[in-house]
Amino acid sequence: MERQPAINYIERITAQYEALGYGRYEWLHSDTPSACNVPNKPLSQCRVGLVATGGIYAAGQTAFTYKDDTTYRAIASDIDPDDLRATHFAYDLTDARQDINVVFPIDAMRSLVADGTIAELAPTMFTCMGGIYSQRRVREDLAPAIVQRALADDIDVMLLVPV
């Protein structure tokens, strides 16, 4: 298999947002590294959660709105992937609508449980919109809400799936 060239994500997303007429996307820059906690036990003993920013929601839930939607959806980890939907303003949804696993890798995570790589999935997975312009609302509202839910679910490790 031939290796594909790397994608300049920041350049690509900036151009895409400008083409959508939203203006220039302001990236968050920080000189302070984020805190990263290493689990104190092997993955094979960890409960693993998921946060995906591809605008995924379950049938029956309200779809995300397009711009600056800082809500999230809680999705049961035992959901049938056929019951998942995607809506997003900043990426082509064709592949996600054909196979939701390209933006919400639930089947791969279930395989990791089946082969013992991870102990279990958290009971609830979380999704939101990527490309939110209000960094303040993400920092003050969205992120703390998801963290609180993750702590309540005793999640040891969280897989982040950006779009």
H/E element, 48 = strand 47-52
Give the closest residue to 88 by CA, choosing from 139, 16, 6: 16
Q: How many CA within 13 A on the CB side of residue 106?
A: 23
Q: Kindly indicate the confidence band of residue 80, based on its pLDDT and cuts at 50, 70 and 90.
A: very high
Q: Kindly indicate the confidence band of residue 1, based on its pLDDT and cuts at 50, 70 and 90.
A: low
> What's the pLDDT score for residue 163?
80
> What's the pLDDT score for residue 66?
75
**Whether the predicted pLDDT of 52 surpasses 90:** yes
Give me the mean pLDDT over the 152-156 stretch.
96
Q: Is the pTM of this model over 0.85?
A: no
**Whether the predicted pLDDT of 57 surpasses 70:** yes
115-140 core/surface letters (b: 16 or more CB in 10 A; e: else): eeebbebbebbbbbbbbeeeeeebee
What are the extents of the domains in the chain? Answer: 36-161
Q: Which of 2-11, 88-97, 132-141, 144-153 has the highest mean pLDDT?
A: 144-153
Q: Residue 141 in 3-state DSSP?
A: helix
